[in-house]
A and B are shown apart, each in its own frame.
Chain A
Amino acid sequence: MAGLEPLLLEAGADILSGASKANSALLHTGFDAPENSIELSCMQAGYREYLEIRDKLNLPLVESSALVVAWDEEQLAKLPAIVDKAHRNGVPDVTQIGRNELRKREPFLSARALGAVLVPGEHIIDPWSAPLAYVLQGIAHGGRILRRCRVTGGHFDNRRWRLETSLGEIEAGVVINAAGNHGDVVEAINRESPFTITPRKGQFVVFDKPAAKLIHAIILPVPTERTKGVVVCRTAFGNLLVGPTAEDQQDRDNAEVDQATLTKLIDKGIEMVPGLSRHTVNAVYAGLRPATQFKDYQISVQTQRRWITAGGIRSTGLTGALGIAQLVARHFAAAFGGLQEQEPVWTPVPNLAEDRPRHYLTPAAGEIICHCEWVTRKEVDAALDGPLPAGDLGGLKRRTRCMMGRCQGFYCGAQVATLAEGKFAP
């Protein structure tokens, strides 16, 4: 939005507190996305831009590849169609591999696996540092952000929008609705929403770091109509993730974890990777994805109403984000003009990924306060400072990884609370 004065309104206490806080943290090639969809083109544009800018923003890339694994004959028969679709989607390096090749690549995968589709370009990224870097760059270019600012209504006088928010009235020349799980509610301020969001809950289990050595690639199931199914993969932070589930619910803000479901998820993980039975669970979480009645993203511009809609961004949104931004910017320029080319200011973020040098390994690291994730006091202090300090404890955890390890704050919880006292931005 270079050349404009963009203002980002976030209902939560910090960025990434809604749909974006819980996903499987993958950078997708789009090999299995709906053909000719907006989702596919956004993912592929986003994928390319991520690779272009990640060094400048200090963002990780764990080059893992993915394997769509067939566990029975019926699934095995579906693999060639997955390869064909990948090729039609412009991902030419996707191939089918046999049982022996699969065993060689993933020796700890259950011997029941019959074969797989290899997708070399699927990778693992940090789901929180990337969006943080994007918003910091926006701020560096003159953008502003208001947190704890919930949009509750609005009025258009054929020239400008006056939005009612929990922080008072805010005037805007153009509104871009990227309200995630509340996308249809915010859309209703402008028009009868063409889409309805039914939040789809995904529960995840994160195993402790020693489990990460059991798997190299992202292990995907052969997808069904409804969901990509349960994935087993490493995380950029060096853990092993199993999830998500796919459960429709009405509540747009609260995602509960459920013991019986988590137990099933763990059993499912052990079924695929038997060695997991000897590893312990670090964290469990649940996220809500803004599913609509449509398969595709809902991105459009209403020129007369000076409103752009970016809704129904499902779990592929982390990959798609930069592509969605490109598309929205194109819509904006075509409808309203006023965008200028600017030399980008790069706003690198601290590295939290395990495969690249973390702060605790540097000579001036100083005191480590989170012993499970090896987070230094300087990292925590830095996350509570700067142009976009953490807005709440969740934001601080996502920015530093403190309290995110196997003890979940047994050792550092009290010290982190003391350091953060009075520091969370209003």
Chain B
Amino acid sequence: MTRWSDVLILGGGPAGLSCARELRKLGVRSVTVLDREAELGGIPRHCGHTGYGLREFGKLYTGPDYAKRIADDAAEADLRPHTTVLKIEPGGLIRATGANGMEDLQAKAVVLALGARETPRSARLISGTRPFGVMNTGALQQFVYLHGRCPFERPVVIGSELVAFSTLLTLRHAGIKPLAMIEERPRITAHHPGDWIARLGFGVPIMTGTRLVRILGNDRVEAVEIDRGFGPERLDCDGVVLTGRFRPESALIAASHIELDPGTSGPAIDGYFRCSDHSYFAAGNILRGIETAGQCWREGKAAAHMALARLEGRLPQRQADARVAIQGPLAYVYPQRIYRDAPTTNPLLFKARVQREVRGRLSVIVDGAVVWSKRISALPERRIDWKLPYRDMKNCHQVTVELDAA
């Protein structure tokens, strides 16, 4: 038997929960949220430090308090923790397993809010032995904040994206001072508030222009080999925290019929957050790797309006009017498909990232005419976003986003 909802949301993190809340506020009756963890809230659940909620709620929360707040706000939806999605099928049909065993669920609109995770050691192809004590920030935070234990005493922290500073705060909470923070690039990647956390630094030496060469140790990590530009050096330590390089948690989508964008590794969407199967929408970090909880929260809310537009039959069913082409050193741009019809009064929102540190002019070209252009200076981990009014897409056939590196 298939259980029907008006809207089914996969993933109860900031994007999924804000989408659920907004849909209920918009009067949609049956909204179901599936989440595989024991508690809703997503990644903020295990980020025990502060820094959440200022823009969306006007007040600073710790991660767990923020997780609780967004779950409480969505309480009018049918929230189902401990429910694992096994399969995504055409037409909004979902196979899941949870407290009631195996179940088929279906909805006219399904929102994929599956989130992201960091790239583990294996996929980074790091050389060396494979001892215990090498982990991502996400695992470390669960050790420290959910299980009250720390797996090492003298770790090194790899990377300097914002999440690396979350790692420093997590380690400080556990009473641990890492030996060093190691960044391959000549300067740290994160801007506010990472740079001032770094400057306060908790006395942690930050080694930029330094590469992790190799991990050493039999059962446990004993040392790492690093290279600061003059050959390998040994640094004795008992753990390695690999931070950042988030990837969308898109394995379920890769196994399904829904189109993935090789650039973002997430589902390709149109300007309505809609996937190649029009029953499916996507919001939050599943779209591209990582952005702040606040960004995901806003996207979830925006996607709710689009899901409602689908329920009300206000979204075009034809093929997209244009596919977005990329030129220059851009890693990705989304939405990947454009329609010229505006479903709401909101403008069309673009997001992009670059492949490498680059300065240049970013332009949007619609049918040969530049409709928008801006000089940028960007790093690969930093979001670039801009809005265009729908009137710029009038009669569009070909949309190109071009980065002319100067």
Partner among A256, A393, A415 whose Cβ is within 8 Å of the Cβ of B147: A415
Closest to A206 in B: B122
> Chain A CB within 10 Å — which of B126, B146, B254 has the most?
B254
> Chain B CB within 10 Å — which of A257, A259, A282 has the most?
A257
B255-A414 in contact (CB<8A): no
Closest 7 CB pairs of A and B: A414-B142, A408-B120, A210-B254, A413-B139, A414-B143, A410-B138, A281-B123
Contacts of A256 in B (CB 8 A): 127-129, 214
Nearest-neighbour CB distance to chain B for A167, whole angstroms, equals: 18
Interface segment, one of A33-41, A91-99, A313-321, A361-369: A361-369
Contacts of A286 in B (CB 8 A): 130
Contacts of B117 in A (CB 8 A): 407, 410-411
Contacts of B151 in A (CB 8 A): 417
Nearest-neighbour CB distance to chain A for B85, whole angstroms, equals: 10
What's the Cα separation between A284 and B86 when bound, in Å? 25
B125-A263 in contact (CB<8A): yes
What's the Cα separation between A361 and B86 when bound, in Å? 10
List 7 A-B residue pairs with CB atoms under 8 Å apart, sorted by A's residue number. A263-B125, A286-B130, A368-B84, A393-B132, A408-B122, A411-B138, A418-B149
Q: How many residues of A contact B (CB 8 A)?
A: 46
> Chain B CB within 10 Å — which of A282, A368, A374 has the most?
A368
| Residues of A that sit less than 8 Å from B by CB | 206, 208-210, 253-260, 262-263, 266, 278-286, 360-361, 363, 365, 367-368, 371-372, 374, 392-393, 406-411, 413-415, 417-418
B97-A360 in contact (CB<8A): yes
What's the Cα separation between A286 and B125 when bound, in Å? 12
What's the Cα separation between A408 and B121 when bound, in Å? 8
What's the Cα separation between A255 and B131 when bound, in Å? 11
Q: Is B381 an interface residue (CB 8 A)?
A: no
Contacts of B37 in A (CB 8 A): 411
| Residues of B that sit less than 8 Å from A by CB | 36-38, 82, 84, 86, 97, 101-102, 117-118, 120-123, 125-130, 132, 135-136, 138-140, 142-143, 146-147, 149, 151, 214, 218-219, 247, 251, 254-255, 262, 265
Nearest-neighbour CB distance to chain A for B327, whole angstroms, equals: 21
A410-B139 in contact (CB<8A): yes
Nearest-neighbour CB distance to chain B for A237, whole angstroms, equals: 14
> Chain B CB within 10 Å — which of A256, A363, A372 has the most?
A256
Nearest-neighbour CB distance to chain B for A249, whole angstroms, equals: 13
What's the Cα separation between A280 and B122 when bound, in Å? 10
Closest to A413 in B: B139
Nearest-neighbour CB distance to chain B for A22, whole angstroms, equals: 10
Known: A210-B255, A281-B123, A361-B102. A253 touches B143 (CB 8 A): no
What's the Cα separation between A254 and B222 when bound, in Å? 13
A283-B122 in contact (CB<8A): yes
Contacts of B214 in A (CB 8 A): 256
A254-B218 in contact (CB<8A): yes
Closest to B118 in A: A410
A257-B128 in contact (CB<8A): yes
Contacts of A408 in B (CB 8 A): 120-123, 136
Known: A283-B122, A415-B147. A368 touches B139 (CB 8 A): no
B125-A368 in contact (CB<8A): no
What's the Cα separation between A279 and B262 when bound, in Å? 9
Partner among B84, B118, B146 whose Cβ is within 8 Å of the Cβ of A374: B84
